[in-house]
Amino acid sequence: MEILEANNLSHSFDYKLFDDVSFSLNKKERIAIIGMSGSGKSTLLHIISSLLKPQSGSVKLFGEDIYNLNKSKLAEIKRDKIGLVFQSHYLFRGFSAYENLEVAEILSQQPIDEELLKRLDIEHCIKQKVTELSGGQQQRVSIARVLTKKPEIIFADEPTGNLDSKTAHEVMELFFEYCDKNDAGMVLVTHDTGLAQLCDKVYRLEDKELKREK
């Protein structure tokens, strides 16, 4: 079943980034988007994850045309069904790591998974303020926060960018396990072709087109 449908997307800033791009994502499916710096990967991710309206084309999430949807229905999808993991972590910086997870717990009414904290190796630093954590620890707290919400689609932009390669692979494994267990899908934007190859499908954004590589 398709949980994401991107139809004929085009977008430009100073130059045309991509033109007439279409693809879809099924439950449990993981797809990677790779491509040169500046090719528009992050912009495409923003568009399909409801953050940026495309100049043309449409995006359906769970069958709903998100840029032609009433605000409260869109807010519901954002809150309950999608999880964003970006490089800038959007953690509440005045709070401890645990308090950040509690916010997700309250908003989504899903309990914090203590096992997840262990798997991410953050259980020992979870009471510390976000500002006292390393970049890699903050990254893992933001991953824990997103997974606490139990999203049906994870949108991730270089989610392991601050992590060493062993930890990066462990974190990807955790994402994949999460998708399998929860019937969730994932769209991963990355420069790391090794990580991309772990996904079910790989697309390259190049010459304004999205080309299937795997």
Nearer to ligand ATP, 70 or 88 (CB): 88
| Angle subtended at Cα 12 by Cα 8 and Cα 18, rounded to the nearest 5 degrees | 45
| CA pseudo-torsion sign 54, 33, 82, 105 | negative
CB 41, min distance to ligand ATP, A:
4
Helices 165-182 and 135-148 cross at an angle (nearest 10°) of 0
Nearer to ligand ATP, 30 or 204 (CB): 204
> Rounded to 5 degrees, what are φ and ψ at 40?
110, 15
In whole angstroms, what is the distance from residue 139 CA to residue 151 CA?
A: 17
The first and second tokens of residue 26, run together, are 């099924």
In whole angstroms, what is the distance from residue 135 CA to residue 87 CA?
A: 10
CB 138, min distance to ligand ATP, A:
19
Nearer to ligand ATP, 103 or 161 (CB): 161
In whole angstroms, what is the distance from residue 142 CA to residue 150 CA?
A: 13
CB 150, min distance to ligand ATP, A:
27
Residues in the chain: 214
Per-residue contact string for residues 18-57; x = within reach of ligand ATP by CB under 6 A: -----------------x-xxxxxxx--------------
Question: 17, 32, 141, 156: which one contacts ligand ATP (CB under 6 A)?
Answer: 17
CB 1, min distance to ligand ATP, A:
28
Site membership for ligand ATP, residue 159 (CB under 6 A): no
The residues of the shown chain that bind ligand ATP, judged by CB under 6 A, are 13, 17, 35, 37-43
